[in-house]
Structures are given as C-alpha cells and as structure tokens.
A and B are shown apart, each in its own frame.
Chain A
C-alpha cells in the first residue's frame, strides 16, 4: 500500500472515533448525531480504499470495504487526493477545485450529503465559545443592522436589551481633525439611527411569521384561487409540506413553461451581514434554481445616474462622486455649505447611524455658514439653522440655472478650471444667458418657476461665487436627494453637477459633501462590503470578481435564464406580458443605454414569483399595480420568504418564515456596502468590523434564509452545491480568513469579543482629498477602482471617465446616444415637470404637490408597522381611534382651506388611489405642497385590494409609474399631484363630488383671511 493509501485509510478509520469522541465531549454535537440514521460510503474511484459509516441513534460505527446499498456515497479520484481533502486543515480552494475537476463528488440523498458534510465541518469545532459574560447570567453579543451596530444583551435565551457599542482602551482610539485652531474628536463609540434603536421591538414583533403557512384556498394540485390573494386567510403547515410545495412548483413551472418562468425578487435591503445578505445567499439561490432576474432601477440615485454621470463619469458610483478625506478638507477650508435636497439628519447617509450628526454639530464651531434648499423645512435645517429656501417641488433646476447666470454675468466662477478641465462651457452658457433661445435664465426668470425671490438667488449666487463652498447634494452630500427622484430629477442632478464644474470641484474647500462621507478611517484594511457578493459565487451580478473571489474561493454561480424584468414594470410584465427597461450598470457611462425587453427571446413569461420580503407596495410607484398583479392567474404560484407578515407577504400562496440576523450567524463591516457604495464606511467615526453573533435561537419555527434555501435546493439535488456542504458559521469563518482580520486578531478572540476597530489614519497619512487630483490636473490618487483601466482616454489614471476626460458641460455620451432627446439633451436645460402645476387639467383636480422622501424613523419598510416601537413616535404614526395611521404633512393654509385640523384623519388621493393618513398641519411647507414619507410597511385596504382606500399608509399607491424620462427607466415619486380631504369614512377610491371646487373657494377665502 502506498503512503497516500495508508494515510487515507487511517484518516477514514480515525473519522469514526473522532465523531464519537466529539459527541462524548459536546452534548450539542451528540444531539446532532442523533438526527439521522443512515449509511455513508466513502471510497476511491477504483474502490481500492473504501469505508462505510453507519449512523445509528447517535452512535457512529464503520467498516472497511463496500456497503451493498449505502444511502450516500462520497468518492475521491485517488487515495492521494483523499488524503489531502479529508484533513481538517484542508484548503477550500483545493476542495472546490477537486469538485470542479471531477476528483471529488457525492451521490445519493442530497439532504443526507449536506447533513453529513455539515456534520463533518461541525465536528472540528462543535461548540464555539462566543460573547462576553457580563457576570449576572447575561451575555453580551454583537450584531449589525442597517441603522448601526449593537451590543446585544442576552439572558436565558432572550434578548434583554440592545445598545450602541462603547469602546474601551483596548480598542483603537478615535481620530482627531485639527481645523481652524481647534481639535475635533468624535466620541469613542458607535451611534444608532432610530430604526437601529427599535430593532429589538421588530425581533419580538407579534407580526413575526413563526410558522410556514399556506393560503387556505390554495391547492397546488387543484384550485389555486389566485383572485383571492390578499383576501383569504392562511393556515399553518409543516416545513416538509411547505418546502415540498415550493420545490414541486419550481420543478413544475420549469418543466411546463421552460426557461425563465420563475422570477426571483428581493427588496433593496436586507438584514445586515455579508453571508445572509440578499446579494449573497439569495443570488446564489436564484442562480441555482434558474430564476429570471429583476433589474433594479437606481432608486436612490436616479437623476445622478441617468444625468450627472454624463458630465463627469463616476458610473461605478451610479453618478455619485468620490468623497475621500472631504471631512478634513471641509473642516479646514470650507466657508459655506449648501444643503440641496439634503436632509442627512433624517436619512443618516443610509447606513450611517448618527455618526455624521456628531460631526455636523461642529459646523457652528467652525463658523461655516449654512443654506438649505428644500421645499420642506427639513430636520437638518431645523437642527443646524441657516437660510432656508423653498423652491416649489420640481423647479430646483431653474434655481440652479439662475445661480449659473449670475456667476456667468458677474464672472464669479473658476475661469481657469473651466478653461483647463472642462469642455462645452460656451454651448451651455449660450443657453443659460439666453443667447440660444432668447430667454436669459436670470434670477427673475427663475422666480416665476420656483417662487424663490430673485434677490435671494442673487444673494446666494454672489456669496457662493465668492466663498469656498461645499455642495451638500442629497442626503449623503455627493448625490441622492428627493429632487433627483422626480420628473426632472435628471435635470436637477445635471444642473448641480454643472454648478460644481463652474466652481472648480476639488479645489481646497470646494467639493461635494455635508460631513457625511469621507472620514479619516483606514479603508485599505481589506474586509469585503456586502455588494462583494459573500457566498453568492455570482461573478456577473456582484462585486465578487474584484477581490473576494480570489480571497475566498468558492463555486461559481451563473443563472441560466437570460431574462430580466425591470423592477418598476413587474406588474406590466406579468399582466400585459411585455415590458422594457434600461439597466443600471456601474462599468461604463454607456451601460445605461442598453435597452432590454421582456420577455427575452425564447424565454417563458413569468409564471412563478419567489419574493423575498414584502416591501414593494410601500416602496415602488403606483403600487396598486403590484396588488393587482398578485391577484391575476397569470402568476400561477407566489411564495414569499419573509420575516414578518406584512405588505405584499399577505399576497403569497405559501409563506416561508425567515429569521432575523439576531437568530443566525453573520459577519460584516459597519456601513460598508462596497460595489456602487464603495467605501461607504468612511461615514463612520470608527471602522468596526464585527462578527454578528447568533444571539438567540430562531423564534418559532423560523429559519435562516440560507437554511431555507439549502433545504429547497436539497429537494432538487442541489443543496450540496448551494451551501458547499458548509454551515453558516463556516462561511463566516471563511470571510474572516479571506479578510485582513487574521493579521490583527485571532478567530477565537474575534468570536468572543465580536468586533475589531481598525485604527484610523493619522494626520498626514490620510487619503488624498477627493477630486483634488483632477483639479490640479494630476493622476488620480484616490483609492477608487473606477473608471475601468480601458476607460481612460490618453493615460491611465489621467482625467475623468467622459470622452474628453474632462468635465463636460455638453455631454458627448448623450450626443452619441440621442442628441435630440428633449428630456436629456447634451446640455442641461430646464424642463417643467410632466406632473405639476403646469399640467393644468390634473392640477385642477389634484392641486397639491406631494413629496415622499425616504422615511426618517424607519428604513424602507424596516422598523415600521408590525407593532414596533416607532409606531408611538407621533411624527411617524399617529394613534387615532385605536389605529396607527401614517402621517401626511400639510401646509397650514391648505389645511384651513380644507377644514383640516392637526391629526384629523384625511384621505390623500388622486386617480391612482387613496391613502388614509393623520394630518400634521405645519408651516414647514409652502402652500400647495404636502409631504409624507414613502415606505409604509403596512398595506391595509379597506375594500377590494388594489381598488380601495388603503389605511396602512402606502403613499406610493399614489405616485406615478411613469419613468423619470422616456429613454431611461427610473422612478419619479416626487412628481405627484394629490388632493387631501377630511375622510368621510368611505372606502371607495376617488373624491366626493365637487370637492375640488369647494376647496378652491375655501382656499381663496383663507387667503383673504390671512394677515398680510
């Protein structure tokens, strides 16, 4: 016998004893061994070495040789390979390469193979020690959320409390920025946004789905009654039955209808974590079952992506710009900050907790003057003070053009920068100055559009032109903002980009930002962001090829369906059978031009929907469409894998209860999105990488997403492929090993403590300031892997991503695409909204412009409804007669004209639907403007679903489905006309007869009654 053969034989023999030995030491492992009785054969291909294992009531025995009828067989090509693969320290690359090269395989029940391989993994470390013992029977664990990280205090299997993380002397200290003779250091802790503080209340929500459910009148073998989705109730079923139905439907739909008939749809966000995230596990799953993809629109970026990108590139950031070290630059150099459609105190930079709120408290000490441009007197303006300007919704572009007009006529811009680093300025200035169309875009001209006095625009323009100014564009400061999600959001983002082009973006003190992004933490320490794909193996649709795929070798996954359905057109795709879309694509500027159609050639229409969560009705546009889509027989089967029974989860045929991140393992970097959100963690005051402990067991019968996916895949023989035979903690450990963490902390210590603080960068060693390289005409020196190497024009790292490599006031990419597109001409022009005061007929009936920005206390549908603690925040929901109503803010004079008092129940409606809200009467809005956050988690129709008044607060029932422009596919929820009236108790859609006339008469009367 060769040495390898001897070695392999010994290993196989030893495995029996190792299993039994570990079971004798670890009760949990002993329990696991009792789960299955079966026989496993392990053998070389030539059967020269073979041993079979019998698992019987928790005892493992083995015999050398071949079993006549093993339940599963694991085979290796040779003893040599077996000896290398069957050792605990095996390299995963070697293992999966052996699989890919047909040297290592398994046969038999997939469920048993998964169980066996996971058990073998578990055997190496059956009961890990983790968490900090607090001495009173309480253990402190760590987890992470969309709203910040948490210390989690657990006692007797129950989460007692969750708090921000407070660091100790053992952890790296905070950074200090010295500016204007003062030193600024953030506190040595993390912060939480409201949806982070309320997360325990969502964990223990009475609306948790705790058991698999089936709609009572759904029979996969008989009557399906799709018309009753959203109406008929549910009954509890076993996991066996639920998973059999789902796997059975996957098989049936694929065989009956062919390629692409299953649609896998997930929300934009998920429980935080790199392994359990949708870009990780769900992508692998959807690829594994061969589902068609949903093509998301760049929902928070819209105008920046479709518009601003053409002026300066940054396709990788979907039109947002780089932000490196802008916090230090801003604090040292900037004199004025203009917040434009920017309310960071309400939107928290997406995942940033209140990290930047602390820093913005320093603005006063720094003497930076503030301006807020927003139709709503937002929370940032209210907290920080400064000048408030309130253009009518949808007119921001006119204001921006007038600012440019003042700069052009008074010479208040960076002429050298415009001459050296920009192209097309003459063409644009001809338009702005009116040489081209005879209409100079003066401050007086804009006043008629925006309602902002011309004198104020002149004052702002002059001040801005003479002082070093940071433009806080949108909540993050470098893009986003409600104004970019409107009919003319493309123009808005383009106009703002052009203003920064004129002022010399990158000059000291002149940049994008509001102290949200660009802190001096160390991003060169490698740890992946969630968009890097985790365990997805998806090299097409995630950021995995950049680093993680090499660092964490895994089986690749590739979806066979070439079909994509645009997310905003899923209802049309299902109901009308066709749809068209434009993609979001980070690789190049031109990627967004690649129009696609549904159905894809030769592909089946969608027949089955695998929905992950329940957010669509609250977050998409004109969302009664989604309700109606669910109620058609064109969707033969709908399964929803959801944590809570909410939103569209109530329209599924089968419900699979998923657990939260408290109930499973994961690992992550605070606020680190990666991909399009590259280096978003620079908004944190401390870079904290954390193990997300499994704090408690899953509630009820809920399971982790990965476990649900694995069990469905096992029914299709694909479980082993899906999970690579690994447990979730194994995947977590692999991410740990793939990162730079092992260089600084042991796995044991990391498991116990749960986090590591990456030391910040010292003064003088910090990242170069964003765009300074471009301002100074140097090679790009910031740590941003975009544009692609092949997308530079002359020299690598020289210039922007545009054709000229310069800032283009006149965009060559748009000239190439369609120079005559009136909605997206090569230079930015002012265009009135396709839904607003100028759309006279509609405005006559629905005279209020409704803004619906990202919500303040909840995050999309997280931490809303489901009886969680945010319900008792009166600015979030108001309790009226026992029901928590969503809030609509209405101008005091508009309210008076309609006889509406504070917290009256009102019907907000238009031709698309009607939503009941509690009125919040305010002067924080100009007359004619209303405001209600988007993203209610509750859809609660009072009559027929999709065709009646919603009292849950899904304000997106009312927003237009129309694309932001015809040659893109983006959403424009902030271009929405509505009427608001006292609710008369009716459940029907539409207004009471004569309402608008009455309102108009009352409005006139109220105006006269107002003090002058």
Chain B
C-alpha cells in the first residue's frame, strides 16, 4: 500500500518558517480527536528549523535544517510507551493518542531527535502528526508542503519500494541513520548542513595592479587522493564543498598560465576561507 513520506531539500530551505507557522495555524486553537490535542500558543516547535552558519566574513554559508517528527518505522518512542499511547498507522504515520498519552512526560525523552514537546497545561507529550486528519479527509499534501515557497517540503504518498528507489536514485538521506529508527522523513542535500567547505580568493599583479584572478585551476588533495577540482570565478573566489572537517591535512594546488603554481596546505577543522592567496608572476628565466 501507499504510505506517507516527507522529503525535505535542505538546499532550498532559507528559514522562512512558513512550515512551522502553518503547523501553528493548524494546531493552535484546534483539537482533532484521535489525532492531536491543541498545540500551546507559545513554546512548541513541532517543525523546528535549525541553522548552521559556516565560514568567516567575507565567505560565509548558512544552511537550514527543518526537523520534525520522523514518523519512524522503528520509533523509539513506541518502545516502552503505555498501551495505545502511541500507534503506528498502516500508512506510516505515527500518532500520539491525545488521551492515552496523557500524563507521560517520560515519552518526551524517548525521541532521539528531540522532537516530542511537552504540553504542560494539558499534561501531554505532543509531536507533529503529519496532518493525518487532513490526509484522511483527502488532502494530498501537508500544510508545510502547501506553504513552502521553494518546494523544499514535498509530501510523498508512495509504495515503500517506490520511495526506496527514489532514495537510491536521488541519493536521499535520513537524519542519523545510525539510530536505527528508519525515519520516513527524507532529506536532499543534507551535506550542505553537516559537511564543511574551504574557499579562498586568488589575486595577482596584472598590468601594474593587483587584480582578482579568474579562471585559475584549483585542485584539492587529501594526501595522495585528488578530491576535487574547480576554477576561480570573476572575483578570484573558489570553494570546495561537502568536505569532512576532520582536522585532517588538505592541500590545494593553484595553476594559471600567467602565474607560478602555488600550493597551500592546511588542516580542516571547520569550514574556512583561506583568505587572499597571492599568485606570483612566473619566475623570469635566468639570463
């Protein structure tokens, strides 16, 4: 049977928060018996956008990671939960029963993603129920997908095999697969949040002035392994993304027919801008 999945493209999220606000619009002030009790007016973020800023002025990148209930196929929260408090529907959606989960604050800690919220007033653990009450009425997408301006959120109703094919074809990932929870929320471009970059700016003397060196060829090495290559842009900027900031030693080699080649070694502990890299004129041939 077809089941519900969510696909979030991290590269398209720019923290507008429409998804989170739409969830508030749906659940604050409304209770949907069997699905969800009212969300408190303040303090809950059933969809939470986390941000990671990397690099330094003037080369900075910001990535945003929307996190929500993953509707896991192996949900940690269900293990040890009281009978009927949390259920896994055949269509993949995990529902916290607003009656039977009442008075169980310990459930909040059961989610390794930290996406169960405690409603103090109603003494309820609460999560985002995938707008199941709307999908059951015929809606084809979640409120978050509906309001997302960049299509970063997509609600997918697919057979598990189709979804898995998509995961392979589009190289989708889940958050922390090592938890073993088998989330139904998939991510595209997760690297832009978790991985790091290194960049630099090439300059050199041309016609008596220091200029940005465009179109130079830059190769990134890790030991003897050639990781990537690129060319500098109009402003002499270049950037390598999706790197592991593991503290290991990296090397870049810059070549441009107008200048001597240049090699730089550095340890990558976090994303960084190597600053201005001055290229020297080719050594004049010995007279």
A206 to B28, CA, bound (A): 13
Quick check: B42 and A458 within 8 Å, CB to CB?
no
A857 at the interface (CB under 8 A from B): yes
Q: Of the 9-residue stretches B17-25, B82-90, B155-163, B223-231, which lies at the interface with chain A?
A: B17-25
Q: Chain A, 349-368, contact with B by CB distance < 8 Å: what is the 0/1 string?
A: 00001100110010000000
B221 at the interface (CB under 8 A from A): no
A388 to B18, CA, bound (A): 26
B281 at the interface (CB under 8 A from A): no
Given A377-B62, A388-B58, is A191 in contact with B209 using a C-beta cutoff of 8 Å? no
> A146-165: which residues lie under 8 A (CB-CB) from chain B?
158, 160-164
Quick check: A455 and B17 within 8 Å, CB to CB?
no
Given A160-B30, A388-B58, A455-B203, is A357 in contact with B149 using a C-beta cutoff of 8 Å? yes
Quick check: B28 and A163 within 8 Å, CB to CB?
no
Q: Is the interface of A mostly helix, strand, loop or mixed?
A: mixed
> B130-162: which residues lie under 8 A (CB-CB) from chain A?
137, 143, 146-147, 149-150
Interface centre among B18, B150, B233, B236 (most CB of A within 10 A): B18
Given A201-B41, A456-B212, is A361 in contact with B55 using a C-beta cutoff of 8 Å? no
Residues in B whose Cβ lies below 8 Å from that of A875: 15, 17, 51
A884 to B43, CA, bound (A): 10
Given A361-B150, A879-B43, is A163 in contact with B24 using a C-beta cutoff of 8 Å? no
Quick check: B18 and A345 within 8 Å, CB to CB?
no
Quick check: B146 and A163 within 8 Å, CB to CB?
yes
Q: Is the interface of B mostly helix, strand, loop or mixed?
A: mixed
Q: How far is the CB of B81 from chain A (nearest CB, A)?
A: 27
Residue of A nearest to B275 (CB): A1012
Quick check: B143 and A455 within 8 Å, CB to CB?
no
Residue of A nearest to B18 (CB): A197
B29 at the interface (CB under 8 A from A): yes
Q: Chain A, 857-873, contact with B by CB distance < 8 Å: what is the 0/1 string?
A: 10000000001011111
Quick check: A458 and B211 within 8 Å, CB to CB?
yes
Q: How far is the CB of A201 from chain B (nearest CB, A)?
A: 6
Residues in B whose Cβ lies below 8 Å from that of A383: 14, 150
Q: Chain A, 489-513, contact with B by CB distance < 8 Å: what is the 0/1 string?
A: 0000000000000000000000000
B184 at the interface (CB under 8 A from A): no
Q: Chain B, 63-81, contact with A by CB distance < 8 Å: what is the 0/1 string?
A: 0000000000000000000
Q: Chain B, 15-47, contact with A by CB distance < 8 Å: what is the 0/1 string?
A: 111101110111011100000000001111100
Quick check: B25 and A200 within 8 Å, CB to CB?
yes
Quick check: A867 and B42 within 8 Å, CB to CB?
yes
Quick check: A869 and B234 within 8 Å, CB to CB?
no
Quick check: A872 and B58 within 8 Å, CB to CB?
no
Quick check: A198 and B209 within 8 Å, CB to CB?
no
A198 to B20, CA, bound (A): 10
The listed residue (B44, B58, B149) touching A926 by CB distance below 8 A is B58
Quick check: A197 and B25 within 8 Å, CB to CB?
yes
Using C-beta atoms within 8 Å of the partner chain, give the interface range for chain A. Answer: 35 or more
Given A136-B137, A197-B147, A345-B14, is A388 in contact with B60 using a C-beta cutoff of 8 Å? yes
A940 to B58, CA, bound (A): 36
Residue of B nearest to A863 (CB): B21
Residue of B nearest to A1011 (CB): B272
Quick check: B18 and A379 within 8 Å, CB to CB?
no
Residues in B whose Cβ lies below 8 Å from that of A204: 29
Residues in A whose Cβ lies below 8 Å from that of B150: 354, 357-358, 361, 383
Residues in B whose Cβ lies below 8 Å from that of A872: 20, 24, 42-45
Residues in B whose Cβ lies below 8 Å from that of A387: 233-235, 237
A892 to B203, CA, bound (A): 26
Residues in B whose Cβ lies below 8 Å from that of A382: 14, 61-62
Interface centre among A158, A200, A870, A926 (most CB of B within 10 A): A200
Quick check: B15 and A379 within 8 Å, CB to CB?
yes
A36 at the interface (CB under 8 A from B): no
Quick check: A923 and B55 within 8 Å, CB to CB?
yes
Given A198-B25, A927-B57, is A459 in contact with B235 using a C-beta cutoff of 8 Å? yes
Quick check: A377 and B60 within 8 Å, CB to CB?
yes
B56 at the interface (CB under 8 A from A): yes
Q: How far is the CB of B255 from chain A (nearest CB, A)?
A: 20
Residues in B whose Cβ lies below 8 Å from that of A164: 146-147
Q: Chain A, 443-462, contact with B by CB distance < 8 Å: what is the 0/1 string?
A: 00000000001111011100
A870 to B24, CA, bound (A): 9
A345 to B149, CA, bound (A): 10
Quick check: A454 and B28 within 8 Å, CB to CB?
no
Chain A residues at the B interface, C-beta cutoff of 8 Å: 136, 158, 160-164, 166, 191-194, 197-198, 200-201, 204, 206, 345, 353-354, 357-358, 361, 369, 377, 379, 382-383, 387-390, 453-456, 458-460, 463, 857, 867, 869-873, 875, 879, 884, 891-892, 922-927, 1012
List 20 interface pairs A-B (beta carbons < 8 Å), by A numbering: A158-B29, A161-B30, A166-B146, A194-B18, A194-B21, A201-B21, A201-B24, A354-B149, A387-B235, A388-B59, A455-B209, A455-B211, A459-B235, A872-B24, A872-B45, A879-B43, A884-B42, A891-B57, A923-B55, A923-B60
Which 4 A/B pairs are nearest by Cβ-Cβ distance?
A354-B149, A869-B24, A383-B14, A197-B21
